[in-house]
Amino acid sequence: MTKKYAFYVLLIVAVMLAACGPAATPAPEEPMPEAPTQAPPEATEAPAMEEKASFAFELVAEDDGASPEGAAAVANKLVADPTFVAMGGHAFSGATAAAIPIYEAAGIPMLSPSATNPDLTKSGSAVFNRNAFTDVEQAKAAAEFIFNNLGFTKLAAMHDGGDYGQGLAQLVADNFTAMGGEVVAFEAITPGETDYTAVLSAVAAKSPEVLYFGGYNAEGAVITNQMAQSGLEGVVFFGCDGTFGADFLEKTGANGEGAYATTLVPASSPEKDAFDAAYTERFGVAPGVLSPYSWNAFDAGNALMTAVTQVAVVSADGEPEACASDAFGCAVIEPGQTIKVGYSGPITGDYAAFGQDMSQAMMIAVDAFPPIEGEGTLYIPRGALVTAVRTMSDFQGIAGTITCQENGECNASGPVLYVIQDGVWTPAAR
Amino acid sequence: MSMTKSSVQPIQKPWTSGRVIRLVLAIIVIALLLWRLYTVLVVQADYGPETWVRFSISGLIIGGMYALIAIGYTLVYGILFMINFAHGEVMMIGAFGGYFIFELLSSIVLSNGQTFNDANPALSIILAFAAGGTASAVAGYFLERIAYRPLRKAPRLILLITAIGASTFLQNAAMLLFGPQRRDYTNPEALTRGSGWTVVINNSNVTLTYTGVMSFVLSIILMAALYYIVQRTKLGRAMRAVSQDKNSAALMGIDVDDVISKTFIISGLLAGAAGVMWGIHNGLVNHYTGFLPGIKAFTAAVLGGIGNIPGAMVGGMVLGIVESVGPAALGLDFQLKDVIAFTILILMLLFRPSGLLGEALTEEKL
Amino acid sequence: MTRNISNALHSAIIFIVVTIFLFLIGFTTTGSELIIKALSPSIAKTSEGLEIGFTIFISLIGFIIGLVASKREEPDTLGRNLVAGTIAGLISGVVIGLFGFLMGTLIENGIDLRGYLQSVSPDSMRKIVFDQPPNIGALRLGGIILLSSIFGSFINSTVIRAEWRKSLSTSVSESSTADSVRKTASKLGANQGFRMAMMAVLAAILIILPQQWGSYWNFVMGTVGIYILLGIGVNLIIGLAGQLILGYVAFFAIGAYTFALLTAPAPHNLQWNFWIAVGLAMISATIGSLFIGLPILNLRGDYLAIVTLGFGEIIRILVKSDLLTKFTGGPRGVRDIPGPTIFGQSFSSDVDYMYLIIAAVVVTAFVANRLQNSATGRAWVAIREDETVSKTTGVNSFAYKLLAFALSAAIAGLAGALFASRNQFTGPDDHVLMVSINVLCLLIVGGMGSLPGILLGAFTLKGLPELLRELENYRLLIFGALLVVMMLIRPEGLWPATRPKLEEKGKSIEAQKGEPT
């Protein structure tokens, strides 16, 4: 007995050793001392000063578990790194709200691809921007479309109990009532369950004409599948940007016919196709399957790096003028170091698909972005970078144009409504 | 004899504060319940009979799955007195087992252009359940061998923590292996989600979905089979003996470790079947699938009286019904269905501290 | 000889499974990257760098196979050890080599497994055969494992087991380093002068450190501190009074929300004073505990656990429900919670909060320690050891349990208020079941009933995942495995209470069922 016991202990310890041993050894945040050995033969031939340095971008993807607590830990960790300059996140609104004050204090510009809660830009933060459209815009567009174009007057609003879904459903309901429609039911589900027919039957008893759902793809698909059997035959399923996605078609089959969703997924363009191909090749799934925000995340990464390129100064003789006058000083990148751009979202846990998807999309953006070339050391004035992101205009991304307003709303394209016709997503006629 | 017996005064239970509070609470709760029921059913009358039937169908389907998982908790609890926190993850592994069989079978195209899956629905379903059950049984077996057996003599809290660790491990292992996205179960065409028999009640179609009916019937069959095994077979007798007293059972020639292993295998089989049902019914599985039903089934097991097999079955069904009928009957939001379920659990334990069917546990078991 | 083979076979099979599992979750690639990054960062990103990393990774596995296979050879001679290592290395080399061959062949034919096994990238499939044709690569893979396994068994025989033999002859007891540290510490602790000196050093460290280590560590350690508070609280009811509570997060949530709603500008705009709000948070948590404790504390064992778990869930669902959204802020939570002020000065930088949390921990620990050593503490322990007996000796067990419950709830309320205030935010996602489970884990991992144990446990539970951040999505996997390992190696916890605990012996299942004591 004890021998066996010892044996299993050893087994697991061995795995741990293999797993943790090497991980514990590196001192990650140190500027790598071995860096100069990178090209020793050249260094002996020519003085280092005249060498053309190349400053590449690097993505630091962190796991905040979609929780405010995790987000604050991530933010605090990242701002401690002197070579960290910009944040392409966070993913979820609650987490973002907790992280904003920390980036605010450190002068790190944010550009979130997916935090859609309207309140985030209301607090007057100088650093927070997003290229996701807000729930306000989306809710207004959806409510108007339902009331005016579809001509429905009885709406049932449902959500998944999360801050995204609940906020959105509430806004749609408010807009719809203001227009003169009637909200006959307002219910919530618990994500991850197998059978929603009970709550759907309760909604059906109020005989709505359309069912609006604020939440994500998976629950949206289950609801769509279970609507007919709960007495909601012929009732239109109206989703949001969270429910849009290629796999929604796959998951709902014939049941999904006629379902609506909002999205900013672009029409096909050479850039989009190139990104789709690169993503599929590298990660084995098509973008949009794990979460609907792949394209947004790719754009956010590119926009941030473009802004960095605009303000960065390479100088061989000491700190440039811009640093001294900058409110937050400069990020100083020595040759051999990389410019760190962050991403933070739930990489583990229930919503892991979202975080992993966006970090993968950003990884593609970061790895393909050309490095900054020059002689000497790279200086990035942080305050100027914050301003550069906030004043960005007409940045052409694959998911639409990014033009930041004074409050940090950068999505200039607005939501597009899609409907499933004959098994494919087609833009809905206004 | 009889004279002396009757002359003994019945022992008066003292009116402790706890007892008074409980009594007052009970009166308040019952009054509230009656009042709510009256307003909802008579005054408001929002829901017609067809809606009530739909609620009940939904409850029975979920209840059947809860019951199958709850049996796993109860079997393990009955023998090891531990809460097997990783049981939900064992179920998730079974759901993946079924998923892969369906993927495999639907990729085989027969000569008539149909996939194997659509052409032989019965066989594919049987294969899927076999695969899911096996995957979960294997997982349960190794879970016990590696994580629990070395701790046979440790206090129960230690086992609980080990189980929590194992649960985290399995969940994340599944995420790393299969990816974080929810995977779409490829049902045979005959079991298309949403299709089923239709009954007209009150001028409205009430659908008994094929997936739902199959889940329910199968869970009843499995429960009956389990009951037969436990009550009538040699293994069942050994299991009951071990749960009564391990030392004496060992003295009677029962291989205790072997019986415990088999218990984990059986509870894994049931959980795996529940996992495949879950996948077939709802269509989506990922690494997190096991968490919620795990907690719910644990609740169901306690509701029925933990350690008691019929209790777990009844508990699961009751929980399923309460979740789907409760909010409507009380006129509350469906979001609050877990609040109702847990409140009922708490109230029930106040008056029957050992669950619906559980026998009063002796001190030593606690 | 047959023993030789069976031992070797056993370890080979296990490591084959482990290696293939590591490959399937993509850890061979990540592990190689980490290794090469640690050794030589300059070539970390290059292809040959990865190859070197992978070679080291694989030889490490082979080395461990050899080590484990020869671990239990009897008689302990070099020859037998080597034979065991060779057999294990050969078997696992062949099987893993074949697996590599399979992967290599699949990728040569352009088959992508990522549709089902997301972590198996074509790149990692090529890497496992060293970017060579499958047959040559597989041979190399198997060869490395065989050689390193033989080397492992050699090292085991000449270095490790030699040491073991030495140490076994000197002491029979299974004293580990942690135990000896603990014993030395408790011996020294008896010395008054030494204790004072230690206290002074500790105080100096606690004052200086928060200023030095930056906002990230202040944040992480602040969280650890809050979990220490929770640990101290839950120790009263679980560790001392012996009542298993799984819904401790309920009181944490009540505290956090009371505090947040009283101080935050939305949804009620009350903007009360920080200190008054903290006090009220503690009081409301206590009231909550009396409300639920009065009816249920008569329940025992796992029934109590599930009822409290249910209570925790009820609080969380109610807080985020549509019904109470107007009152609690709903799923969005409460934001922009202001920090405390002292004499009109703002006191809310990360360093200030660290001090505040340290102060709270010190005060709570002091109070809890005094309670533990008082008559009340002895009554709790009596209830834990045997409630029936303690009742017959005149302990009002219900009252004492309720007292422990209320006190621990008050501490949780305090922790919740501090947590909400430091994060400037609280929401339903902060108060999930996992918090209760984490607190229970930290208590058990650290060692029930001892303050140093709670400190160690909190560091392990909340600090370790932060340290494991480098491992990205592997961190929770490794964390779960470590939790199991820790329980297997030290079931009594890292730093168990020094007080003799009779129930540890008495409550094991065997004894408990065998002879009712």
Q: What are the pLDDT tens digits along chain B (366 aa)?
A: 334 444 445 555 666 666 777 788 778 888 888 888 888 877 777 788 888 899 999 999 999 999 999 999 999 988 888 888 899 999 999 999 999 999 999 888 888 888 888 888 889 999 999 999 999 999 999 999 998 998 888 888 888 889 989 999 999 999 889 888 888 888 888 888 878 888 888 788 888 889 899 999 999 999 999 999 998 999 999 998 998 888 888 998 899 999 999 999 999 999 999 999 999 988 788 888 888 899 899 889 988 888 888 899 999 999 999 999 988 888 888 888 889 888 888 888 877 777 888 765 444 444
User: Cβ neighbours of residue C100 under 8 Å, at least 6 residues apart?
Assistant: C128, C129, C134, C137, C138, C141, C142
Would you call A289 and B284 a contact, using CB atoms and an 8 Å cutoff?
Answer: no
Question: Closest to C487 (Cβ–Cβ): which among B18, B165, B177?
Answer: B165
Question: According to the model, what pLDDT value does residue A230 have?
Answer: 87
Question: According to the model, what pLDDT value does residue B137 have?
Answer: 95
Question: According to the model, what pLDDT value does residue C167 have?
Answer: 65
- At A152, which amino acid appears? F
Question: Closest to A193 (Cβ–Cβ): which among B175, B181, B292?
Answer: B292
Question: According to the model, what pLDDT value does residue A45 have?
Answer: 41
Would you call B334 and A198 a contact, using CB atoms and an 8 Å cutoff?
Answer: yes
Nearest C-alpha in B relative to A223 = B282
C289 and C436 in a common domain: yes
CA-based nearest distance A200→chain C, Å? 17
- C307 has pLDDT over 50: yes
Nearest C-alpha in B relative to C120 = B177
Q: C250 in a domain, yes or no?
A: yes
**Confidence label for C516 from pLDDT (cuts 50, 70 and 90):** very low
A 364-383 → B contacts, CB under 8 A: none
Burial of A49 (0-12, 13-18, 19+ CB in 10 A): exposed
Angle at which helices C350-372 and C192-212 cross, to 10°: 150
The domain spans of chain B are 19-354
Question: According to the model, what pLDDT value does residue C256 have?
Answer: 93
Provide the pairing of β-strand A57-63 with A339-345: parallel
Q: C197 in a domain, yes or no?
A: no
Would you call C313 and B338 a contact, using CB atoms and an 8 Å cutoff?
Answer: yes
Nearest C-alpha in A relative to B185 = A251
CA distances from residue B242 to B76, B79, B252, B260, B297 in whole angstroms, order as listed: 11, 6, 10, 8, 24
- C515 has pLDDT over 60: no
Q: Which phi and psi angles does C253 have, rounded to 5°? A: -65, -45
Length of chain C counted residue by residue: 517
Would you call B165 and C295 a contact, using CB atoms and an 8 Å cutoff?
Answer: no
Question: According to the model, what pLDDT value does residue A128 have?
Answer: 93
Would you call C514 and B246 a contact, using CB atoms and an 8 Å cutoff?
Answer: yes
Please tell me the distance from the alpha carbon of residue C415 to that of residue C357, in angstroms, as a whole number: 9
For chain C, say whether B74 makes contact (Cβ under 8 Å). Answer: no
DSSP SS3 for A249: helix
**Confidence label for C177 from pLDDT (cuts 50, 70 and 90):** low
- C387 has pLDDT over 70: yes
C 365-394 → B contacts, CB under 8 A: 388
Would you call B349 and C299 a contact, using CB atoms and an 8 Å cutoff?
Answer: yes
Helix and strand numbers (H, E) in chain B are 14, 4
Would you call B339 and C314 a contact, using CB atoms and an 8 Å cutoff?
Answer: yes
Would you call A188 and B335 a contact, using CB atoms and an 8 Å cutoff?
Answer: yes
CA distances from residue B251 to A240, B106, B149, B243 in whole angstroms, order as listed: 65, 52, 20, 14
Q: C178 in a domain, yes or no?
A: no
- Over chain A (430 residues), the average pLDDT of each successive run of 10 is 46 43 35 38 43 85 85 89 90 87 90 87 88 86 91 92 88 92 91 88 91 90 89 89 82 86 78 91 85 89 93 86 86 89 87 89 92 89 92 87 89 83 81
Indicate the number of domains in chain C.
Answer: 2
Summarised one tens digit per residue, pLDDT across range B130-152 is 999 999 999 999 999 998 998 88
For chain B, say whether A286 makes contact (Cβ under 8 Å). Answer: no
Question: According to the model, what pLDDT value does residue A380 have?
Answer: 92
- Looking at beta carbons, which residues of chain A come within 8 Å of C223? 69, 73
- C317 has pLDDT over 50: yes
Structural domain including C279 reads: 222-514
Summarised one tens digit per residue, pLDDT across range B272-293 is 999 999 999 887 888 888 888 9
What is the arithmetic mean of pLDDT over C196-203?
A: 83
C246 and C123 in a common domain: no
Q: Which two tokens stand for residue C149?
A: 């396994």
For chain A, say whether B318 makes contact (Cβ under 8 Å). Answer: no
Interface probe for A, chosen from B44, B46, B54 (most Cβ of A below 10 Å), is: B54
Q: C209 in a domain, yes or no?
A: no
Question: Closest to B282 (Cβ–Cβ): which among A8, A194, A289?
Answer: A194
A 79-138 → B contacts, CB under 8 A: none
C421 and C302 in a common domain: yes
Please tell me the distance from the alpha carbon of residue C435 to that of residue C309, in angstroms, as a whole number: 11
CA-based nearest distance B197→chain C, Å? 34
A162, A145 contact by CB (below 8 A): no
- Looking at beta carbons, which residues of chain A come within 8 Å of B48? 205
Q: C509 in a domain, yes or no?
A: yes
- What topology does CATH give the domain B19-354? ABC transporter involved in vitamin B12 uptake, BtuC (1.10.3470)
Would you call A9 and C429 a contact, using CB atoms and an 8 Å cutoff?
Answer: no
C167 and C64 in a common domain: yes
Question: According to the model, what pLDDT value does residue C506 have?
Answer: 46
C36 and C161 in a common domain: yes
pLDDT, chain C, mean: 82
Nearest Cα residue to C484 out of C447, C445, C454, C451: C445
C298 and C383 in a common domain: yes
CA-based nearest distance B328→chain A, Å? 7
C401 and C328 in a common domain: yes
Query: First and final CA of chain C: distance in angstroms?
Result: 47
Q: Which two tokens stand for residue C427?
A: 């929401």
Nearest C-alpha in C relative to A352 = C473
- Looking at beta carbons, which residues of chain C come within 8 Å of A9? 485, 488-489
> Domains (ranges, CATH) in chain A?
50-130+268-402 (3.40.50.2300), 135-263 (3.40.50.2300)
CA-based nearest distance C209→chain B, Å? 32
CB pairs under 8 A between B and C: 190
Please tell me the distance from the alpha carbon of residue C421 to that of residue C281, in angstroms, as a whole number: 12
Name all chains with 3 or more CB-CB pairs below 8 Å to chain C: A, B
- Looking at beta carbons, which residues of chain C come within 8 Å of A80? 214-216
Q: Which phi and psi angles does A342 have, rounded to 5°? A: -100, 160
Would you call A18 and C61 a contact, using CB atoms and an 8 Å cutoff?
Answer: yes
- Looking at beta carbons, which residues of chain A come within 8 Å of B55? 198, 201-202
Q: C346 in a domain, yes or no?
A: yes
C385 and C249 in a common domain: yes
Q: Where are the alpha helices (DSSP H) in C373-431?
A: 375-385, 387-392, 397-423
Summarised one tens digit per residue, pLDDT across range C260-294 is 999 988 788 788 888 899 999 999 999 999 988 88
Q: Which of C114, C145, C172 is the last residue of a domain?
A: C172
Question: According to the model, what pLDDT value does residue B87 have?
Answer: 93
- C499 has pLDDT over 70: no
Q: C201 in a domain, yes or no?
A: no
Summarised one tens digit per residue, pLDDT across range C473-482 is 787 888 888 8
Q: Which two tokens stand for residue C364?
A: 């709570």
C48 and C143 in a common domain: yes
- At A324, which amino acid appears? A
CA-based nearest distance C158→chain B, Å? 29
Alpha-carbon torsion (A395, A397, A403, A404), positive or negative: negative
- Looking at beta carbons, which residues of chain C come within 8 Å of B178? 116-118
For chain B, say whether C189 makes contact (Cβ under 8 Å). Answer: no
- Looking at beta carbons, which residues of chain A come within 8 Å of B50? 231
Would you call B335 and A187 a contact, using CB atoms and an 8 Å cutoff?
Answer: yes
Question: According to the model, what pLDDT value does residue C3 have?
Answer: 65
Cα angle: B280, vertex B284, B285; to 5 degrees: 100
